[in-house]
A and B are shown apart, each in its own frame.
Chain A
Amino acid sequence: MSTTVNRVGLPRDAYKGAATTLCAGCGHNSITNHMIKALYELGVEPHLLAKMSGIGCSSKTPAYFVETAHGFNGVHGRMPALTTGAHLANRQLIMLGVSGDGDTASIGLGQFMHMIRRNVDCTYIIEDNGTYGLTKGQFSATADLGSVQKKGAVNTFQPIDPCAVALALGCSFVARSFSGDGKQVVPLIKAAIAHRGTAILDIISPCVTFNDHDGSTKSYSWVKDHEESIADVSFIPYFEEVHVDYEPGTVRDVRLHDGSHIVLKKLGDDHDPTDRRAAIRVIEEGRAEGHLVTGLLYVDTNMDDFATTERIPQRPLKELGEEELRLDRDQFAHFMTEFA
């Protein structure tokens, strides 16, 4: 019996994790499956993957994929700090952060923004359901103005849109998707991982228990009815040959730092994903028209990532020993004379 394996010789099952403890039908479980598919198809080596998260339903999910990888489920809203530190310690790790809307847009908004400001090389997935699930259904900061809670309470505050915030900060990769749209989510995850810098992927992920009713703008039916994809996304990793057989003028091709390509096939109006102001406009227009705009909103493939700016070596810092890290005896003795 032969099992299909990926380019690093691993079967798809090697990318699975522990059984989920989230509700049946939770959008997050779909995202976990998209993650498994993306990581398997990319051939990510599990030992190089670092799964990072904060607190909440979303933040539990790193336990549900690639069980053999290291994971760190930290404290609420602080995943970016842990990720930044771990990345500095070892640039070879593939940092994959999973957060939620409470974790990102409320308690963790500061760290979210500062991680973007530094352009730490990581994938930052927001499993966005507009509600606090584990504490039983309070509104989160991404809930839309006027959206209705299960028990009838109406949200009276403007939402914080993580994508709009990210774009305003000049984030080098911003995308939005829907947990039910695997065709879009999987290539976006792959592209986010291949991208060098902070890749923000806001995935609307309905909470079946607390936020899937009429009046919610984060329900399955609302998103299905209002999703408007700006382009068909496909991802061609650096280890596969590019063969584009689209009609000229119908696709945009974004080449990433590692040689991978994101191929975007126009659907309606042409959106240039390298134009930040256009991306902000697309979000604003979608909001005004009551649409949820999904797809790759913006990418900047030239910006240096944090570790590059900091001139951190490719070799993990953990491998450095006394010889490299200590002053030698002569340096030390000379240094002492400076104190005299």
Chain B
Amino acid sequence: MTEPIVNDLTIQAATVNGSGSQTANLVLTRAIFHMGIPVAPKNVFPSNIEGLPTWYQLRITPEGHMARSDKVDILVAFNVATWREDLKTVRTGGVVIHEEAFSTADARTDLTYYSVPFAKLAKSKIQSDTLRKQLANMIYVGVVAGLLGIPWEAIEHGVKRQFLAKPKAVPVNLDAIKVGYDYWQDNFSKQDPYRLEPMTGAVEGKVLVEGNQAAALGALMGGVTVVAWYPITPSSSLCEYLIAYSDRFRVDEKSGEKLISVVQAEDELAAVGMAIGAGWAGSRAMTSTSGPGISLMAEFSGLAYYAEVPVVIFDIQRIGPSTGLPTRTSQADLGFVYTLSHGDTKHLVLLPGSVEECYELARDAFDYADRFQTPVFVLSDLDLGMNLWMTPEFKYPDKKFDRGKVLSKEDLEKLAGEWARYRDVDGDGVTFRTLPGTDHPAAGYFTRGSGHDENARYTEGADAYARNMDRLARKLETARHALPAPVIDEAGRKVGLIAFGSTDAAVREARESIDVDYLRVRALPLSDDVARFVSRHERVYVVEQNRDGQLYDLVRLALPPELVDRMRSIRHYNGQPIPAAAIVEPQQQQEMVPA
């Protein structure tokens, strides 16, 4: 037997959607995390309720790499429909745990096979007819636990944690896992090098959180009070978490009143419209959607931009165009969202690169929206939003809400009612507003998406129109300097790399193989730091998960002409989260080509 491989392996479970496989996957994940070992799960699931293939990748590395691995060490083959294809993904010397009924007659000979009669075991060992299908997946957890040496205590923890809200389900699931665990002990001797051993120092102070969960908590801490949404994958869980958290934290115990309203709207047009109506009336309001919903929100986004109404819009990106692959990830909404709606519309866009930033930027988005009286988009994606990520615990906010320039009754009295809704008093492009319900005769104004003067009166006047558009540009410029700055890790290297969002995980790992400085963009419009970063490097690669190099284009537009030629582009767009290899290989290839 070769040298043991400890805590550095990728398990891929190929199962059937709707069979309860995800619960089994999560139990395994939590058990391994409980051993102090970093985990990075990626769930690749179909747009389907039941029957289509689904894969769950659980990557385990001592360093805590969070990106998807492009190699599989241990395949759990549960799905006869995909099993031949699944075999191809396993690296030489890897392991295959498969259903006994699958024939290995002419299968690869460079792998170790463990054949398990899952179906027979389920039939003979699981008593409940109604639960058999669900519990059958748990048997695989037991086999893997046996194979890798996961202590039973860790398995118990994983099950208890997974069924926190349903403690009655714990024993029956543990029994099913035990079936697989015992089967391993009784029938196999270890033929492969893969092992797990408890670690210390790698996961302490860390938690496992989905980006949508983190964003929901962020929105709650950011003071959201009106949420309007329409169900769409991969965004739905954000609002569903918000509903669950609201029921816990936003109900007045005495009166039963709710300090938040979460409305399931009739479509995305209405969803964003309600949020904008609420933002206009002074509430902190949001919606959450994905690509097709963003398309529908274009009309209202233009209104909120032009009429200057705060609202927060989450886009949990999936891959398009059109319906696209509804359950696959992408970063291809960047360009569209930035200028969403007709005319000279331009938006503030926040780009969280981790679940921790999903929490922080979701929270802070409401401050930016109020401060700049404009829609703020938070661009997450399916990978970030729906997968569990290992993260440091989130920090409690140290700032109060920034409600921006709002004139109260008392302010208006001091001003003797002299104010204009769209007058740039401070020169920063940001004007004062009043909220409906302000008890002063000068408070009211008429909000409109048609041309308006400083006093919000209708005008088609050429000068008034242009002046207002120039002020809006000035406001965006003010915001640009206030938005989260890029994160830069630089040590005078010749080559730089720029990325955003969930690509960060793959970049971090890639940098162990390629020697590049790194700038991660966190907001649009782009900070001046980007051009300065480019100016300090001979070549700069922009890595992103879309076909057309959308950030690459935006960066080039922001550069002085002499720097444009320094830019190179690396694009990944097959719907699977980008692995480090998809950066390292093209980067090395391009480095061999003279500029």
* Interface residues in chain A, defined as those with a beta carbon under 8 Å from any beta carbon in chain B: 18, 45-48, 50-52, 62-63, 66-75, 78, 80-90, 92-93, 110-111, 114, 307, 310-313, 316-318, 320-322, 324-327, 329, 331-333, 335-336, 338-340
Contact B277 A73 (CB under 8 A): no
Closest Cβ–Cβ distance, residue A47 to chain B (whole Å): 5
Q: Which of B217, B221, B258, B443 contacts A311 (CB 8 A)?
A: B258
Closest Cβ–Cβ distance, residue B282 to chain A (whole Å): 3
User: Given A47-B443, A74-B303, are A85 and B274 neighbors across the interface (CB < 8 Å)?
Assistant: yes
User: Given A75-B303, A111-B270, are A313 and B283 neighbors across the interface (CB < 8 Å)?
Assistant: no
Q: Which of A62, A66, A90, A320 contacts B436 (CB 8 A)?
A: A90
Q: Which of B228, B281, B397, B444 contacts A318 (CB 8 A)?
A: B281
Contact A320 B259 (CB under 8 A): yes
* Sample of 11 further A-B pairs with CB below 8 A, known A75-B303, A111-B266: A52-B277, A74-B273, A74-B276, A86-B277, A89-B278, A92-B437, A313-B257, A316-B283, A318-B435, A321-B401, A326-B397
Cβ–Cβ < 8 Å partners of A336 in chain B: 207, 393-394
A78 and B224 alpha carbons, distance in the complex (Å): 22
Cβ–Cβ < 8 Å partners of B526 in chain A: none
Contact A83 B277 (CB under 8 A): yes
User: Given A73-B446, A89-B283, are A320 and B225 neighbors across the interface (CB < 8 Å)?
Assistant: yes
Closest Cβ–Cβ distance, residue A325 to chain B (whole Å): 4
Cβ of B193 under 8 Å from chain A: no
Contact A88 B444 (CB under 8 A): no
Contact B269 A88 (CB under 8 A): no
Most B C-beta atoms less than 10 A away, residue of A46, A72, A316, A336? A72
Contact B437 A48 (CB under 8 A): yes
Cβ–Cβ < 8 Å partners of A83 in chain B: 277
Cβ–Cβ < 8 Å partners of A92 in chain B: 437
Cβ of B336 under 8 Å from chain A: no
Q: Which of B273, B278, B280, B443 contacts A78 (CB 8 A)?
A: B273
Closest Cβ–Cβ distance, residue A333 to chain B (whole Å): 8
Q: Give the residue name and chain of the A residue nearest to B249 (CB).
A: A327
A326 and B285 alpha carbons, distance in the complex (Å): 15
A322 and B363 alpha carbons, distance in the complex (Å): 12
User: Given A82-B276, A85-B285, are A327 and B446 neighbors across the interface (CB < 8 Å)?
Assistant: no
Cβ of B458 under 8 Å from chain A: yes
Contact B397 A75 (CB under 8 A): no
A76 and B209 alpha carbons, distance in the complex (Å): 41
Contact A313 B259 (CB under 8 A): yes
A8 and B209 alpha carbons, distance in the complex (Å): 55
* Interface residues in chain B, defined as those with a beta carbon under 8 Å from any beta carbon in chain A: 164, 207-209, 213, 217, 220-221, 223-226, 228, 249-250, 252, 255-261, 263, 265-267, 269-283, 285, 299-300, 303, 307, 393-394, 396-397, 400-401, 434-450, 457-458
Q: Give the residue name and chain of the A residue nearest to B271 (CB).
A: A81
Contact B445 A85 (CB under 8 A): no
Cβ–Cβ < 8 Å partners of A80 in chain B: 270, 273
Cβ–Cβ < 8 Å partners of A329 in chain B: 396
Q: Give the residue name and chain of the B residue nearest to A311 (CB).
A: B258
Contact A84 B277 (CB under 8 A): yes
Q: Give the residue name and chain of the B residue nearest to A51 (CB).
A: B446
Contact B258 A88 (CB under 8 A): no
Cβ–Cβ < 8 Å partners of A320 in chain B: 223, 225, 259
Closest Cβ–Cβ distance, residue B363 to chain A (whole Å): 9
User: Given A47-B443, A73-B446, A322-B401, are A86 and B281 neighbors across the interface (CB < 8 Å)?
Assistant: yes
A-B contact pairs, 30 of them (CB 8 A): A47-B441, A47-B443, A48-B437, A52-B277, A71-B447, A72-B277, A73-B450, A75-B273, A78-B269, A84-B277, A85-B273, A85-B276, A85-B278, A85-B281, A86-B280, A88-B263, A88-B274, A88-B277, A90-B436, A90-B437, A311-B257, A316-B283, A318-B281, A318-B437, A320-B259, A325-B220, A325-B223, A325-B259, A327-B221, A336-B394
User: Given A78-B300, A89-B285, are A316 and B221 neighbors across the interface (CB < 8 Å)?
Assistant: no
Closest Cβ–Cβ distance, residue B418 to chain A (whole Å): 15
Q: 6 tightest A-B contacts by CB?
A: A81-B273, A85-B277, A318-B282, A89-B283, A339-B207, A85-B274
Cβ–Cβ < 8 Å partners of B221 in chain A: 326-327, 332
Contact A110 B266 (CB under 8 A): yes
Q: Give the residue name and chain of the A residue nearest to B436 (CB).
A: A70
Cβ–Cβ < 8 Å partners of B450 in chain A: 73
Closest Cβ–Cβ distance, residue A6 to chain B (whole Å): 15
Contact B437 A326 (CB under 8 A): no
User: Given A72-B277, A84-B274, A320-B223, are A90 and B261 neighbors across the interface (CB < 8 Å)?
Assistant: no
Cβ–Cβ < 8 Å partners of B445 in chain A: 70-71
Contact B283 A318 (CB under 8 A): yes
Q: Give the residue name and chain of the B residue nearest to A113 (CB).
A: B266
A83 and B275 alpha carbons, distance in the complex (Å): 10
Contact B278 A86 (CB under 8 A): yes
User: Given A73-B448, A78-B270, are A316 and B437 neighbors across the interface (CB < 8 Å)?
Assistant: yes
Closest Cβ–Cβ distance, residue A73 to chain B (whole Å): 4
Closest Cβ–Cβ distance, residue A338 to chain B (whole Å): 8
Closest Cβ–Cβ distance, residue B452 to chain A (whole Å): 10
Cβ–Cβ < 8 Å partners of B255 in chain A: 313
Q: Give the residue name and chain of the B residue nearest to A319 (CB).
A: B282
Closest Cβ–Cβ distance, residue B165 to chain A (whole Å): 10
Contact A84 B263 (CB under 8 A): yes
Cβ–Cβ < 8 Å partners of B279 in chain A: 85, 89
Q: Which of A52, A110, A339 contacts B267 (CB 8 A)?
A: A110
Cβ–Cβ < 8 Å partners of B446 in chain A: 51, 62-63, 70-73
Cβ–Cβ < 8 Å partners of A338 in chain B: 164
Q: Which of B213, B226, B257, B393 contacts A88 (CB 8 A)?
A: B226
Cβ–Cβ < 8 Å partners of A82 in chain B: 273-274, 276-277, 280
Q: Give the residue name and chain of the A residue nearest to B221 (CB).
A: A326
Q: Which of A63, A81, A85, A327 contacts B220 (CB 8 A)?
A: A327
Q: Which of B208, B225, B458 contacts A89 (CB 8 A)?
A: B225
A42 and B256 alpha carbons, distance in the complex (Å): 32
Contact B226 A317 (CB under 8 A): yes
Cβ–Cβ < 8 Å partners of A316 in chain B: 281-283, 437
Cβ–Cβ < 8 Å partners of B282 in chain A: 89-90, 316-318
A96 and B300 alpha carbons, distance in the complex (Å): 20
User: Given A73-B450, A85-B278, A336-B393, are A47 and B223 neighbors across the interface (CB < 8 Å)?
Assistant: no
Q: Give the residue name and chain of the B residue nearest to A48 (CB).
A: B437
Cβ–Cβ < 8 Å partners of B265 in chain A: 81, 114
User: Given A75-B300, A84-B274, A85-B278, are A90 and B438 neighbors across the interface (CB < 8 Å)?
Assistant: no
Q: Give the residue name and chain of the B residue nearest to A76 (CB).
A: B299
Q: Give the residue name and chain of the B residue nearest to A117 (CB).
A: B266
A25 and B17 alpha carbons, distance in the complex (Å): 65
A307 and B277 alpha carbons, distance in the complex (Å): 15
Closest Cβ–Cβ distance, residue B411 to chain A (whole Å): 14
Contact A46 B444 (CB under 8 A): yes
Q: Give the residue name and chain of the B residue nearest to A90 (CB).
A: B281
Q: Give the residue name and chain of the A residue nearest to B409 (CB).
A: A47
Cβ–Cβ < 8 Å partners of A50 in chain B: 281, 436
Most B C-beta atoms less than 10 A away, residue of A89, A90, A320? A89
Contact A71 B437 (CB under 8 A): no
Cβ–Cβ < 8 Å partners of A70 in chain B: 434, 436-437, 443-447
Closest Cβ–Cβ distance, residue A35 to chain B (whole Å): 15
Q: Which of A47, A81, A333 contacts B270 (CB 8 A)?
A: A81
Closest Cβ–Cβ distance, residue A190 to chain B (whole Å): 21
Contact B258 A47 (CB under 8 A): no
A8 and B368 alpha carbons, distance in the complex (Å): 39
Cβ–Cβ < 8 Å partners of A307 in chain B: 261
Q: Which of A47, A75, A85 contacts B437 (CB 8 A)?
A: A47
Contact A88 B447 (CB under 8 A): no
Q: Give the residue name and chain of the B residue nearest to A312 (CB).
A: B261
Closest Cβ–Cβ distance, residue B541 to chain A (whole Å): 34
Q: Give the residue name and chain of the A residue nearest to B227 (CB).
A: A88
Contact B249 A331 (CB under 8 A): yes
Q: Give the residue name and chain of the A residue nearest to B394 (CB).
A: A336
Cβ–Cβ < 8 Å partners of B226 in chain A: 85, 88-89, 317
A148 and B112 alpha carbons, distance in the complex (Å): 81
